[in-house]
Amino acid sequence: MKHLFSFLTFIGMAALAGRAQEVIPLYAGEIPNARPSEIQEPEGDAPAPFIRVSVVPTLQAFLPEPEKATGQAVVIIPGGGYSVIVYGGEGVSTAQKLAANGIAAFVLKYRLPRDETMVDKTIGPLQDAQQAIKLVRENAEAWGVDPGKVGIMGFSAGGHLASTEATHYETPLIENAAGTSLRPDFQILVYPVISMQDELTHADSRRQLLGENPSAADIELYSNELQITADSPPAYIIHAGDDTTVDVDNSIAYFQQLRKRGIPTELHIYPKGGHGFVFRQEGWVEALLSWMKTLN
């Protein structure tokens, strides 16, 4: 652990130019819940723009110039229906925008849920999201981050994972002997899958995460609009009304439940844009940056 901290301190100090640093293993030791498998990731120095195989989770840091740093940090979870990871377009591109505006960003390459590589695939991605929050918070000083300003951001199925972490943080699924808080300080959800219920869910995401015939208990547990408490973190949600891939009612249902419990929440719904509008509407991040300033 001492060696890992020294390594993280080094890359944190080296990131003064706001550039991406080496990809960091998410776990210092064994990966929890992993099953021995012949499935291997392609060799390479860094994650590809579009990842189809992910069995070794990592975190990639994009740090702002010190004079611009706000102290805020965001763990970014790209989407892809729990079957691929849109690492470049939703992850790296967003991280670069945030870092340019003083926000430390960390792109998570989480494990894609597969029975071949996991003992229990339903919890594997959530373990990685919890570990990412823990890792950033425990190394906040090295990265110039305020440990009380660490949030999570997810796109599409990555939005489901982000909202799962934001509603399931009280049950640690990873080693956490120090008792580090796994609660994100805020959540940012972009055209997110929220629910696993028949009338709302994105069917492919549910199938990948929960299997062909999920139990009623699992459907309820991972329908995150049903898991909100009075301690859920503040939220920023953005969606397009004409999204035919992930129904905008996912975001509306989540917003309504957050509002009923008094959680500060900002919801933006574009009338048009479809799914994945961040690739076509460059200005979407400006309203987000304005909202983030209200958190300081």
pLDDT at position 45: 65
Q: How far apart are the first and last CA of the chain?
A: 31
In the block, tokens 């990592």 appear at 58
CB of 102 closer than 8 Å to CB of 66:
no
pLDDT at position 9: 42
- Reduce the secondary structure of 71-127 to three states and give it as a string: CCEEEEECCCCCCCECHHHHHHHHHHHHHHCCCEEEEEECCCCCCCCECCCCCHHHH
Q: Which of 21-35, 129-143, 226-240, 241-255 is predicted with the least confidence, judged by mean pLDDT?
A: 21-35
pLDDT in tens, 5-49: 434 443 444 443 344 567 899 999 999 999 999 998 887 766 778
Residue 98, pLDDT > 60, answer: yes
pLDDT at position 8: 47
- φ/ψ (deg, to 5) at 73: -140, 145
What CA–CA distance (Å, rounded) separates 117 from 132? 20
pLDDT in tens, 260-286: 999 999 999 999 999 999 998 878 999
Retrieve residue 136's tokens. 């950033």
pLDDT at position 201: 97
pLDDT in tens, 185-207: 999 999 999 999 999 999 999 99
Retrieve residue 40's tokens. 């291997």
What CA–CA distance (Å, rounded) separates 243 from 290? 24
Q: How many CB atoms lie within 10 A of CB 182?
A: 21
Domain 2-29+46-293 has CATH 3.40.50.1820: yes
Residue 223, pLDDT > 50, answer: yes
Retrieve residue 272's tokens. 């048009």
pLDDT at position 198: 96
pLDDT in tens, 51-79: 999 999 999 999 999 999 999 999 999 99
pLDDT in tens, 105-159: 999 999 999 999 999 999 999 999 999 999 999 999 999 999 999 999 999 999 9
**Coil, strand, or helix at residue 285?**
helix
What mean pLDDT is predicted for residues 242-267?
98
